[in-house]
Structure 1
Amino acid sequence: MMLEHITYTVPEEWYKDLYTDQLECRSGARSFSMLHDEKAAECWLFVHGYRGYPGEMVRPAADLYDAGFDIFVPRLPGHGTCGKDFIRSHAGDWMGLVKNAITDLKQQYRKVHLLGHSMGSSIIALLGSRDPEIGKLVLVSPSFENLDMKQPARLILSLLSVFTPKVRCKWHLSTKYHQHYENAPCDEAYLGEEYWKWYFTKQLLEYYKIMKKGLAEMIEHPHEHLLINPLKDRIISGPSVKLYLDAGGNPENVVDIENGTHSVLYDKDPEAEEAAVKAIVLFAEKY
């Protein structure tokens, strides 16, 4: 039922003057939208994470669509195709896509809300916090800190980036997560080989800059927002929420998800996924 109203397209003009991928994206990585026959007054723009893809966000997209919103989930350039495309893309392409989408959607809808997962949460914090025309911000597995990128790791990455675009890291295919995209989990093994078993040196350093700028913008320009904090994510979400609170963030804006992992939108624990999505919809419907 989740896939019933999906159309695998978003406006092509959002990608104008950005990196053009050389390979076609995998089916689970296709951009998609969910639009009502009678256009909704408000919409949600979703932004997936670093090395992520739109298919990871099907569950909250379907639930927010059922709540009466139009939904747009674009694929960031360089993602969901192959590692070579990812190496050729950069932060300017990722954020450029989101900027273009926001500009376009604000002309069509009474209010545009933003939801980001992991790096996507940093991007929406950076681009949405200071924009008074943007509605609500939802940051899922917020990414303002990454323990794997603390010094001296960043220094090592900087040195490696001079000599190599990527370094192998540990990764194994898990069948425990409950993906919701069409024919899931058909693309997981391929995407793992191309993306998740590698540290991409320059792209990781750009991701780090987005993280830090995103937190600064959110604290400096308070905006109606919600942080979904999966408590089993001790590398990114946990330290990020602590950083947010230490910087003066409001603890009432944080929802802790018991047993939730970084991939809480399609979690191994169905109850954690359900709790996260329910919190998102409740926040979206609150006026």
Structure 2
Amino acid sequence: MQITYEVPNFAEHHYQDKAPIRKCARPWAMVHDEAVKKAVLLCHGYTGYPGELIRPGTDLFEAGFDVYCPRYPGHGTSGKDFLSSKAEDWIGTAYDAFAYLAQRYEHVSLVGHSMGGAIATIIADAFDADTLALLAPALVIPSLPATQVRILRHVVKRKKVAWKADLEYHFHYEGDADDDAFLGSEYWSYQFPKGIWELERVRRRAVASIDHVLADTLSISGGLDPTIPEEASVLVTSKPKGVNKHLHIKTIGHLMPYDKNIDAQNEAMAAVVAWMQGKR
């Protein structure tokens, strides 16, 4: 795997984290030795991190694309940093990354997972990107208590929830042995009303962008996804512009880039690569 962690600081003009970045959460790039004309920007999800998108990155790199995956402020460091960051920091980092790539490549496409799918939709609209692939995009989130968190975010910092590591998941990133446990203790063991509200702000902005998005758009939904319903992919692929395709994989869950079902994971990643290659 040809990967480098020496990438521009796309978050330079946004919230600056106080805690160290976990090894698995480092922003990364896969760049060919000889110059290529096409790049793909990958956007990770809410409380996620760049290491989660190594698999699609590897597949796209092997297909001839240079690939970049920035890290949003507040992600992959600490819960305190997360609470200090906002939707503008997350979207702004992806925006600055795309602007950087647009100056250096003839074509720049986007792939986004979960909240990253919503962010990728916003960025595609902002830059009139021509190709977009979304994995369980957070455009419809039935379980998100928007009305409650809008109020609770002012009085409740975080609420403890049950979380434990699932050893059946196989991660593709290079990290430290305790990365998953550390991030679980900082992020996934809590609900953050303020963070959930920032997610809702991202979602609303993405939904408002959909009808303006020119990009040919692939959206993949999972039959085993407990978080994002098929409706989200239907919503974005029903937009009036571009060539749009909805792929529903009955045997895949929310964490598509490293799903437990390897066959389903392979199907989703192959569909993303084919879409980036222009196979409609």
TM-score by length of structure 2 reads 0.93
- What pairs with 1:127-166 in structure 2 (closer than 5 Å)? 127-132=123-128, 134-149=129-144, 153-166=145-158
Matched, 1:173 2:165: yes
Unaligned runs of 5+ in 2: none
Q: What is the letter of the counterpart of residue 147 of structure 1?
A: P
Question: 1:183 Cα shift?
Answer: 4.5
SS at match of 1:147: coil
Which residue, out of 4, 8, 13, partners 2:5?
8
Residues in 1 aligned to 2:241 and 2:158: alpha-carbon distance in whole angstroms: 35
Question: 3-state DSSP class of the match of 2:181?
Answer: helix
Q: In the TM superposition, what are the counterparts of 1:11-160 in structure 2 within 5 Å?
A: 11-12=8-9, 14-132=10-128, 134-149=129-144, 153-160=145-152
Would the alpha carbon gap of residues 82 and 106 (structure 1) be closer, same or farther in structure 2, given more than 3 Å must change?
A: same
Q: TM-score, normalised by structure 1?
A: 0.91
Residues 286 and 48 (structure 1), Cα distance of their counterparts in 2 relative to 1, 3 Å cut:
same
Kindly state the Cα deviation for residue 192 of structure 1 after the two structures are TM-superposed. Answer: 0.8
Which ranges in structure 1 are unaligned for 5 or more consecutive residues? none
**Which of residues 236, 245, 254 is equivalent to 1:253?**
245
Give the counterpart letter for 2:277 in structure 1.
E
Q: In structure 2, what is the equivalent of residue 270 of structure 1?
A: 262
Counterparts in 2 of 1:43 and 1:246: CA distance versus 1, 3 Å: closer
Residue 231 in structure 1 maps to residue 223 in structure 2: yes
Letter in 2 for 1:8: Y
What is the aligned partner in structure 2 of residue 283 from structure 1? 275
CA RMSD across the alignment: 2.0
Q: Report if aligned partners of 1:145, 1:237 keep a CA contact under 8 Å in 2.
A: yes
For the residues of structure 1 that align with 2:133 and 2:176, how far apart are their CA atoms? 25
**Alpha-carbon distance in 1 for matches of 2:277, 2:90:** 28
Give the direction of change, closer, same or farther, for the CA distance of 1:184–1:255 in structure 2 (3 Å limit): farther
Deviations 1:85-117 (A, max 9, x none): 101111111111111111111110001111111
Aligned length: 279
Query: Secondary structure at the residue paired with 1:190?
Result: helix
Shift of 1:212: 2.2
Q: Distance in 1 between matches of 2:176 and 2:133?
A: 25
SS at match of 2:199: helix
Q: What is the Cα deviation at residue 130 of structure 1?
A: 4.7
Residue range with higher mean Cα deviation, 169-178 or 74-83: 169-178
Q: Percent identity?
A: 34
SS of structure 2 residue aligned to 1:139: strand
CA distance in 1, matches of 2:71, 2:155: 29
Cα drift, residue 205 of structure 1? 0.9
